[in-house]
Amino acid sequence: MPSKLEKFADLKTFSNCFDLFFKDLDTLFVNKGNWHAKAFKNNNPIVLELGCGKGEYTIGLAEKTPTKNFIGVDIKGNRIWSGAKQAIENKLSNVAFLRTKIDFTDYCFAENEVSEIWITFPDPQPQKARARQRLTNPIFLNRYKTILKPGGLVHLKTDSTSMYEYTLEVIKENNHALLFSTDNLYQNCPADRQELIAIKTHYEKLFTDKGEDIKYCCFQLN
């Protein structure tokens, strides 16, 4: 297994990897508004996975839906390396990875450039003082709103009851449109949405092996 330094060196050579760091915020990100033309060479819908880790979900979605483009977003380069390498080896041309903070997504994508956002097993930040760090906090949702197409979807999968209930409260308080929710996805998965349980991240496997219920909701920002 390559070292972290070797992985970081690889990322610079991977054609499906991009990055944006704090020092670059004053410079227009090359792919902003140009993801279709520069990264994918098509006009298919763009779907983000925020906090993608090793990219299991990004890769899984891309394999099941070749008519969409998928971008895994994470700040940890040594994690992204795994997904990026797998996508290259499997010749998945509809996959890219972006190494950046989720706080910077509006610097990386133009208005209406994204069709869907997946938030898969994020840190629930259970401490009340860290509520602003939750990826479904209104601060983050407002960032997503600037890049999502009208009617664009936001998906949350989590093992955390507190994160799930917090998100439902945010949706209600801010008049967002809740399309579907369940506190036990594996018992209540819609028949036409089996991909929701067919793809498992590393953490999802750990949680389900322990018998923990997986929560899911899908909503649109007003």
Structure tokens at 80: 């992204």
For the chain, the residue count is 222
Please confirm, yes or no, whether 183 is among the known catalytic residues.
no
Q: Does residue 157 contact residue 194 with C-beta atoms inside 8 Å?
A: no
Catalytic residue selected from 123, 183, 192, 209 = 123
DSSP state, residue 50: E
State how far Cα 158 lies from the chain centre: 13
Question: Among 111, 104, 105, 86, which residue's Cα sits nearest to residue 96?
Answer: 86
Long-range contacts (CB closer than 8 Å, 24 or more residues apart) made by 34-42 = 35/69, 35/71, 35/96, 35/109, 35/113, 36/69, 39/69, 39/71, 39/96, 40/69, 40/93, 40/94, 40/96, 41/93, 42/69
State how far Cα 8 lies from the chain centre: 21
Residue positions annotated with a catalytic role: 123
